[in-house]
């Protein structure tokens, strides 16, 4: 039976004027209105963390961080750090440090991305799943850049690291192919991928649940959370989580709009609840190297329209809030638009980049009781605003791919 996601109640209705783009699992760019928290929208950046690189006109910020030992302690009050990172004045991102076993799991998986991308064409074609709109298995050139052109700069491999087969019910697979389909693994061509993908994905998931618990503690100080319906409970019960292994092809293949800030990944805001991110791994000819361009990397747009370059350690796991959590938390936890800039210059020739993201999101049958004043693609939403997460997501995917409803 579907549960309701009308999780938070408040006597204060947020203003609904800030506009941003929204991305499904980090790839599709659409538009929605974000609901700001009633307090100030001006982003506050810790002064000790700020620097300004000579290579970029934008300030650089090290993420707010929480140690694994702090996160493990359910009695610890982490509200201040949660608010600094995820609150209405934050950047929608924080990192978790000192996670046991993480460094080797990250390295094991990211080193497989170039091998996957360079498998024979016919092998990769067998890993494609058009029925799911390429949201399972291999995807290359199926997504679009901000210019509307196919994105051939990077390839992606999607899988659910928690469940190989979320459901066997044919009607659900037909209705929600992006979530209910089964994983497709290259068990003959690259058998180690499945083990490495699941190991890293499960670790990021487990740490994400710990973080979600502390997010609930923070939100509960300002709003009532219905019993067993906080972010942690929603994510723990969901069968919809999706991992994405990304491989950015060597730069000599051409980077359109090389001077663009979003040259590697366009501006978007994650669609789901909570996204776990590894730090990107840069390689040349199979050898890991430091990024040769200090201006390359992740950029975030604050609520007062300031652009900030965000950095975190290669052994840290970063987490970003998604739009679904922002809406359902009444704006206490806030998502932010972000993009990725590619390295430029002669030293960047031949550079490859591999990274991994885990998109943690509600189950497809979770009911999204959207607030009346959230105008999210209102042409897609029924008059009673009653949608499940699966229905909502599939309609956005249909819109993105210009498929008939």
Tokens of 296: 């390359």
pLDDT of residue 36: 36
**Neighbour count for residue 336 (Cβ, 10 Å):** 23
CA distances from 401 to 134, 288, 386 (A): 11, 36, 23
Alpha-carbon radius of gyration of the chain: 20
Between β-strands 59-62 and 307-311, what pairing exists: parallel, antiparallel or unpaired? parallel
> What does the alpha-carbon distance between residue 245 and residue 28 come to, in Å, rounded to a whole number?
16
Residue whose token pair is 């087969």: 165
> What does the alpha-carbon distance between residue 54 and residue 67 come to, in Å, rounded to a whole number?
31
What is the CATH topology of the domain spanning 60-367? Jelly Rolls (2.60.120)
Q: Report the b/e string of 24-57 with b at 16+ CB within 10 A.
A: bbbbbbbebbbbbbbeebebebeeeeeeeeeebe
Mean predicted lDDT score pLDDT of the chain = 81
Q: Can you tell me whether residue 307 is helix, strand or coil?
A: strand
Q: Where are the domains of the chain?
A: 60-367
HEC profile of 10-64: CCCCCCCCEEEEEECCCCCCEEEEECCCCCCCCCCCCHHHEEECCCCCCEEEECE
pLDDT of residue 344: 82
Nearest to 104, CA basis, from 314, 320, 318? 314
Tokens of 268: 């978007």
**For the chain, which ranges sit under pLDDT 70?**
1-56, 144-147, 251-263, 369-385, 396-405
**Helix (H), strand (E) at residue 281:** strand 281-284
Q: Report the b/e string of 228-258 with b at 16+ CB within 10 A.
A: ebbbbbbbeebbbbbbbbbbbbbbeeebeee
């Amino acid at each position: 039976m579907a549960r309701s996601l009308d999780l938070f109640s408040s006597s204060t209705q947020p203003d609904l004027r800030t506009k941003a783009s929204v991305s499904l699992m980090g790839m599709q760019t659409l538009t929605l209105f974000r609901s700001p928290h009633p307090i100030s929208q001006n982003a506050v950046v810790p002064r000790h963390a700020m620097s300004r690189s000579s290579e970029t006109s934008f300030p650089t910020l090290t993420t707010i961080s929480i140690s694994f030992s702090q996160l493990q302690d359910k009695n610890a009050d982490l509200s201040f750090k949660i608010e600094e990172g995820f609150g209405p004045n934050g950047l929608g991102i924080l990192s978790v440090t000192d996670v046991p076993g993480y460094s080797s799991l990250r390295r094991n998986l990211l080193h497989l991305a170039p091998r996957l991308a360079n498998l024979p064409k016919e092998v990769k074609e067998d890993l494609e799943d058009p029925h799911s709109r390429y949201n399972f298995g291999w995807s290359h050139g199926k997504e679009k850049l901000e210019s509307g052109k196919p994105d051939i700069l990077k390839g992606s491999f999607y899988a659910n690291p928690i469940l190989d087969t979320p459901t066997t019910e044919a009607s659900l697979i037909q209705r929600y192919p992006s979530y209910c389909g089964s994983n497709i693994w290259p068990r003959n061509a690259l058998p180690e991928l499945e083990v490495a993908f699941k190991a890293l994905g499960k670790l990021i998931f487990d740490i994400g649940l710990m973080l979600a618990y502390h997010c609930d503690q923070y939100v509960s100080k300002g709003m009532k959370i219905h019993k067993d319906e906080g972010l942690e409970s929603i994510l723990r019960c969901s069968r919809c989580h999706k991992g994405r292994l990304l491989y950015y092809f060597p730069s000599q293949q051409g980077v359109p709009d090389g001077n663009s800030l979003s040259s590697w990944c366009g501006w978007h805001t994650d669609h789901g609840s909570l996204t776990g991110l590894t730090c990107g791994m840069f390689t040349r000819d199979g050898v890991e190297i430091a990024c040769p361009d200090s201006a390359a990397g992740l950029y975030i747009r604050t609520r007062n329209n300031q652009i900030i370059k965000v950095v975190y350690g290669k052994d840290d796991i970063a987490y970003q809030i998604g739009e679904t959590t922002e809406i359902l938390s009444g704006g206490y936890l806030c998502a932010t638009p972000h993009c990725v800039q590619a390295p430029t210059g002669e030293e960047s020739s031949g550079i490859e980049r591999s990274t991994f993201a885990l998109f943690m999101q509600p189950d497809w049958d979770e009911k999204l009781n959207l607030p009346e004043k959230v105008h999210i693609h209102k042409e897609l939403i029924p008059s009673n605003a009653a949608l499940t997460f699966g229905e909502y997501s599939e309609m956005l995917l249909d819109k993105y791919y210009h498929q008939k409803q």
